[in-house]
Amino acid sequence: MPAVRIGAASNVSLEMRAWNIRRKALLMGEVQGQGYIGQALGIADVLAAAYFHALEYRPEDPEWEGRDRFLLSIGHYAIALYAVLMEAGILPEEEYETYGMDDSRMPMSGMASYTPGMEITGGSLGQGLGIAVGMALGLKRKGNPAFVYNLMSDGELGEGSTWEAVMSGVQWKLNNLICLVDFNNQQADGKPTEALAQGDERQKWEAFGWHAQRVDGNDLEAVVTALNVARETDHDGPRVIIFDTKMCKGVDFLENREITHFVRVEPDEWAKALAVLEKGKPQ
Amino acid sequence: MTLASMKRKYEPRTVKLGPDGKPIATSAMIASLSAEGYDTVSAPFGHALLELARKDEKIVGLTADLAKYTDLHIFAQAMPHRFYQMGMAEQLLMSAAAGLTREGFNPFATTYAVFASRRAYDFIAMAIAEENLPVKIVCALPGLTTGYGPSHQATEDLAIFRGLPNMTIIDPCDANDITGMVPQIAAHPGPVYSRLLRGKVPSVLTRHKPDYKFQLGKAQTIRDGKDVLIISSGFMTMRALDAAEKLAVDGVDAAVLHVPTIKPLDVDTILAEARKGGRLIVTAENHSVVGGLGEAVATVLLTNGVTPEFRMIGLPDEFLEAGALPTLHEMYGISVDRVAKQIRNWL
Ligand SMILES: Cc1ncc(C[n+]2csc(CCOP(=O)(O)OP(=O)(O)O)c2C)c(N)n1
Ligand SMILES: [Mg+2]
């Protein structure tokens, strides 16, 4: 079995992948009547580009030693990762109906022991990047050329542990480490830019010694280009891409309501959201 | 160890169905405890703190991105100039609270119980407790009060803080405890860790004992009984009281001793109750059976030569599952039915 990049081998467009991810996330939200749907809709384009353009993996063997590792530090984004794992064929699509249910393999907060393709147990925020440092060190020690991707949030920029890992990645010249930051400018109580994520975020990472890019995370072309650059740069150290994303992207009436950490969706609105999404289906 | 051997539930699982034939959904973190038959009070901590702060200008509030989820937003909205949003940085939260006490302020710092006890522990130990600084740490999601899994279930916070010298520890049962506790811990000259129930919090104790008032450091008998003595804290006192009503129907007479202050423990009251004799003693806590109220009571009894029949109800020494709270409470033996059943079996 060759190590394929699915996206490269498939004629399904990334736009379609992102749309499918949004749809699956909405279906799961509907099942449970809740879920971090704003985050899932916002990060769908980044996940589509990651799983169908950048990452190498074997859907039928999620623990394949040669896979690129994708760490979900933000456990509450699990709904988004389940959607992309289904789209990638790592999880069976029908399982969306069990999302968040008792005894489901897809608990509401992502945990490694429950779900194939979920590399780490996230949710205690600020832990992913440190684990990624260790995995990147381990891969180098084994001579394994895979990348480690860590998806984290702008809220996690507040945790001191994040910055310990930032410095460590530079110390060990981890050019196999790619950190993806979802900058939706939202955390539980308000805006990170009014708390600990003030100033020019790209410059901060750069000052620490990272190769840093900042792009519109809902512009698929820009996301793909940034992922290419992050993989291919000859920078002798770790790489970060800060993605500015819009919560609830793709469902206008949700985009336009007052955005909070936990976007409320009324019971009858899930079907409405799916209908709105349907109208915007890529050709 | 291979990755596969770490996976506990990797295989496809059969999802349980509820009575309506549909799968049982996880309760979100916002969900309140099921407390059937009790009136509720909205955000008792936030309102009590605000009321106190109006009289005491030294009081300030801090949080690590969880004001809305610890009811501190009530205070923050009314007194924005006395509120510090520290961002999601729990270690900083504790260090900064220590710093504020050094300058003469009386800080209330809030986060979730898991993040105070696990992430910020060393900061609490050294910056706060070692110097006996009066920081008031108030934390939501104690024990098994969320179905989100171990990242949010603080099943060992009491064990962690019991080992910390100088620390006063509170596990309130209901809105009465929370409202009553706020001014008393504010006046306490040392550090305090209190668990918190937030949102719509049931009012339990005054229904069973109309003149009940929280007293820092005191255990109180809420209900008397001659067959079994349940010694409980936190919302397990509510479970104990409800279980006692069920047991009464079967002719079992259960007493309930509520112990909201876990440390220092009210040794005198516990010993006095235990020495009455002739009763099975059962501890009940929303916490691991390791290092919580049960072990604390057992130590008091044994070291004082009191050796009744003794049993513990609490969470197992495991990382707990994710799922719907009622399912989990039933599974781990802390629902009303399971409490009553266990006691009946022990008698
Ligand atoms: C260490 C830690 N502290 C606090 C929390 C509680 N919490 C859960 S999500 C969240 C907001 C974090 O910011 P971000 O991930 O950017 O939120 P979002 O963009 O999803 O609104 C907080 C504070 C946590 N899970 N982990
Ligand atoms: Mg965010």
Q: What is the pLDDT of residues B163-196, one digit of tens each?
A: 999 999 999 999 999 999 999 999 999 999 999 9
Query: Looking at the partner chain, which of B26, B66, B327 has a beta carbon nearest the beta carbon of A108?
Result: B26
The residue type found at A81 is L
Instruction: Give the pLDDT band (50/70/90) at residue B23.
Output: low
Average pLDDT of span A10-32 = 95
> Does pLDDT of A222 surpass 70?
yes
CA neighbor of B196 nearest in space, from B217, B214, B210, B179 = B179
What average pLDDT does chain A have? Answer: 95
Average pLDDT of span A54-83 = 97
Selected residues 149-178 of chain A with any CB under 8 Å from a CB in chain B:
155-156, 158-160
The answer as to whether A2 is a domain residue is: no
Average pLDDT of span B291-312 = 98
**CA A271, CA A251: separation in Å to the nearest integer?**
11
CB B140 within 8 A of CB B196: yes
Q: Which domains does chain B have, with CATH numbers?
A: 40-202 (3.40.50.970), 217-346 (3.40.50.920)
CB pair distance less than 8 Å for A113 and B8: yes
For ligand 1, mutation pick of A36, A73, A261 (most atoms within 8 Å of CB): A261
Q: What is the pLDDT of residue A10?
A: 77
With an 8 Å Cβ cutoff, is A198 touching chain B?
A: no
Q: What is the pLDDT of residue B27?
A: 52
Q: What is the pLDDT of residues B4-20, one digit of tens each?
A: 444 445 555 566 676 77
CA neighbor of A247 nearest in space, from A157, A126, A155, A175 = A155
Average pLDDT of span A203-219 = 98
> Does pLDDT of B29 surpass 50?
no
The answer as to whether A5 is a domain residue is: no
CA of B85 to the centre of ligand 1 (A): 14
Q: What percent of chain A has pLDDT over 90?
A: 91
The answer as to whether A68 is a domain residue is: yes
Please, what sign has the CA dihedral across residues A83, A89, A90, A96? positive
Q: What is the pLDDT of residues A130-180, one digit of tens each?
A: 999 999 999 999 999 999 999 999 999 999 999 999 999 999 999 999 999
Domain of residue A37, residue span = 12-279
CA of residue A210 relative to chain centroid, distance: 20
Q: What is the dihedral of CA A251, A253, A257, A263, to 10 degrees?
A: -50
CA neighbor of B177 nearest in space, from B145, B126, B218 = B218
Q: Say how many domains are in chain A.
A: 1
With an 8 Å Cβ cutoff, is B63 touching chain A?
A: yes
**CA A141, CA A119: separation in Å to the nearest integer?**
19
CA of A152 to the centre of ligand 2 (A): 9
CB pair distance less than 8 Å for B152 and A34: no
Q: What is the pLDDT of residue B1?
A: 39
Mutate to test the interface with B, among A82, A189, A261 (most CBs of B within 10 A): A189
Instruction: Give the pLDDT band (50/70/90) at residue A103.
Output: confident
Mutate to test the interface with A, among B2, B29, B65 (most CBs of A within 10 A): B65
SS3 A146: coil
Q: What is the pLDDT of residue B105?
A: 98
The answer as to whether A3 is a domain residue is: no
ipTM over 0.90: yes
The answer as to whether A105 is a domain residue is: yes
Residues in chain B with CB shorter than 8 Å from the CB of A155 are 65, 88
Residues in chain B with CB shorter than 8 Å from the CB of A188 are 65-66, 68-69, 88
Domain containing residue A162: CATH number = 3.40.50.970
Q: What is the pLDDT of residue B19?
A: 72
For B113, the enclosing helix (H) or strand (E) is: helix B113-114
Average pLDDT of span A116-143 = 98
> Does pLDDT of B323 surpass 60?
yes
